Amino acid sequence: MTDRVPLRTTLAVPAPPQPPFARPTGPPPPPTWPERLFAEWKEPRRAFTPLLLGGVIAAGVAAAVFFGGLEKGGHLGLNVPLTALAVAAVVLPAAWSAGRVVRKGRINRTGVLFGVLALALAATAAYRDAIWLVALTTVLALPIASYAVAGGRSWLEVLGGGLALPPALGRLAPWAARGVAASASAGRGRAVPVLRTALIAGALLLVFGVLFAQADAAFSDFVGGLFPDVSPGPGVLRLILLAGTSALTLGLVFLAFAPPPLRKLAPARPAPAGRWTWAVPIAALDLLFLAFCAIQANVLLASDKDKVLASTGLTYAEYARQGFFQLVIATVLVLAVLAYAVRHAPLASRADRTTVRALLGVLCAFTLVIVAVALRRLYLYEETYGWTRLRLWVHAFELWLGLVVVLVAAAGLRLKASWLPHAVAASGAAGLLALAALNPDAFIAERNVVRFEDTGKIDLYYLRDLSADAAPALSRLPEPQRSCALRDIAARVTGDEPMWAANLSRHHARQMVERRPIAPAAQTPC
């Protein structure tokens, strides 16, 4: 007999049922950069006091008063710098108490400089009427002010400090709520005396104000301009202005008390690349730039440029217009290459440092040549076809890029420049202020008037859309071109405007039109 081996059957044991949407097992994923930022960004140690709350609300009320009349087609003017001063009156004491202005007996020159730049940018609305320029300066004033109170020296701190205002508005809510609750509970005992005093003062002002308003029409108009319109539309706009300005003011105060901890989150410097791995690509780029600059010199310095360009099939005028924006993009990309190359540059030995200085210095020099070529091409284009806002703006932007290249080259001499990030940011703000000082619309009008005097060619449809800044230059045109160019400007500046919306350019244009009226449209068809 043979032994029988019993059959063994393996029964499959079903896995226990998993609940729906079960979390995966294993280590949690590392936190993202925004999560790390908000985890490290602590609330201010200073409490949100009733005095600070009153200042924030006062800044919002000031904006609601100063911008009265916008809903009726009003203009920007003194209301922008006055609102900026009201915000600064609240933020500056907070920054001073937090040690942002003076620390250990030394003035924070960078913070003071950027604060002054922010106020100067906001002041542009008082003397320039070009809305595109006023919008640029006003918008840029916010990140400049944000960095002024947040501080920092590295590229990450300069960029992050300038953009820290929106996340600060979301981060400050718990801190502000606790401060308001504490102020309300502490002020209950003083509420009745304060309310009684306010009612008495309000009653006295109302009685005597009504009497004086009825006694004098000028005083009545003055008082009427001070009190806001309570109709639904203007009331909603003023409420938005009050809330928005109060929030921006509180955000700047929060940044002064608790700036974002960007230094802790800065990535570590990468290991330097090998000498040949780093040097060969930069040297190849230098050779390419050398070839381009040599060809440009051959064209620009040739006595017979049309003969040199015959092989390209282009005239010199067409050649001057071609490729300008590509050169601007090339300049921007060179700055990115320089930033990446400096971060990975080998600096261990003296030979490495000499190689880095030489190759990057040559690249900066050739980049400046490209900037000069781009500006030359744009200038020829402008002289041939006239100046416009876009052409002037691109011209100014390319000049600023050239300045940034010079700053980078100066920093590369020592291969260590902690001043470079905020110097680049300050140069951008200063460049926009210089553009405002140039008076772009007046500059464009002046160049087009000169072109009309030389060639008889003029684009009145473009010039009539310029702002009141261009009125003095356009007034030099003969009739009927003068009336055609100034008719729309005269219509915009005719009539009185609120005291808070006063503007120097519109004031001068209004006086000019009054001295020499615009001819009727029927007499001067355009």
Say yes or no: 284 and 431 in one domain. Answer: yes
Domain boundary among 257, 290, 308: 257
93 confidence band (pLDDT: 50, 70, 90): very high
Name the residue type at position 255: L
- For the chain, the domain total comes to 3
Contact 165, 251 (CB under 8 A): yes
Say yes or no: 234 and 376 in one domain. Answer: no
Say yes or no: 97 and 214 in one domain. Answer: yes
Contact 241, 67 (CB under 8 A): yes
Q: What is the pLDDT of residues 236-283, one digit of tens each?
A: 778 888 889 999 999 999 999 999 888 877 777 778 788 888 889 999
d(CA 476, CA 448): 11
Q: What global pTM score does this model have?
A: 0.81
User: Which backbone phi and psi does 469 adopt, to 5 degrees?
Assistant: -60, -30
Q: What is the pLDDT of residues 319-364, one digit of tens each?
A: 656 667 788 888 889 988 988 888 888 888 888 888 888 999 999 9
Q: What pairs with residue 157 in β-bridges? A: none
Q: What is the pLDDT of residues 118-144, one digit of tens each?
A: 999 999 999 999 999 999 999 999 999
The owner of tokens 């006295």 is 204
Say yes or no: 419 and 279 in one domain. Answer: yes
Beta-strand pair 106-107/102-103:
antiparallel
Say yes or no: 354 and 451 in one domain. Answer: no
* 109's tokens: 């020159």
Say yes or no: 323 and 279 in one domain. Answer: yes
Out of 223-237, 373-387, 461-475, least confident range: 223-237
224 confidence band (pLDDT: 50, 70, 90): low
55-77 mean pLDDT: 81
Q: Which domain holds residue 479?
A: 442-515
Say yes or no: 210 and 336 in one domain. Answer: no
The owner of tokens 């999560």 is 35
Say yes or no: 422 and 454 in one domain. Answer: no
Nearest to 157 by CA among 262, 42, 253: 262
Say whether pLDDT at 437 is over 90: yes
Q: What is the pLDDT of residues 441-470, one digit of tens each?
A: 999 999 999 888 888 888 888 888 899 999
CA angle 392, 398, 399 (to 5 degrees): 90
Say yes or no: 429 and 485 in one domain. Answer: no
Say yes or no: 59 and 159 in one domain. Answer: yes
pLDDT of residue 189: 53
190 confidence band (pLDDT: 50, 70, 90): low
Q: What pairs with residue 247 in β-bridges? A: none
Residue 477 within a domain:
yes
Q: For residues 49 and 252, which has the higher predicted lDDT (pLDDT)?
A: 252
pLDDT of residue 128: 94
Contact 348, 274 (CB under 8 A): no
169-176 mean pLDDT: 85
14-33 mean pLDDT: 61
CB-based contacts of 427, cutoff 8 Å, min separation 6: 400, 403, 404, 407
CB-based contacts of 443, cutoff 8 Å, min separation 6: 387, 392
Q: What is the pLDDT of residues 67-77, one digit of tens each?
A: 876 655 567 88
pLDDT of residue 82: 94
Say yes or no: 152 and 279 in one domain. Answer: no
Coil vs helix vs strand at 45: coil
Name the residue type at position 134: V
Say yes or no: 226 and 151 in one domain. Answer: yes
Q: What is the pLDDT of residues 148-165, one digit of tens each?
A: 999 888 888 899 889 999
Name the residue type at position 33: W
285 confidence band (pLDDT: 50, 70, 90): very high
As a whole number, the mean pLDDT across the chain is: 81
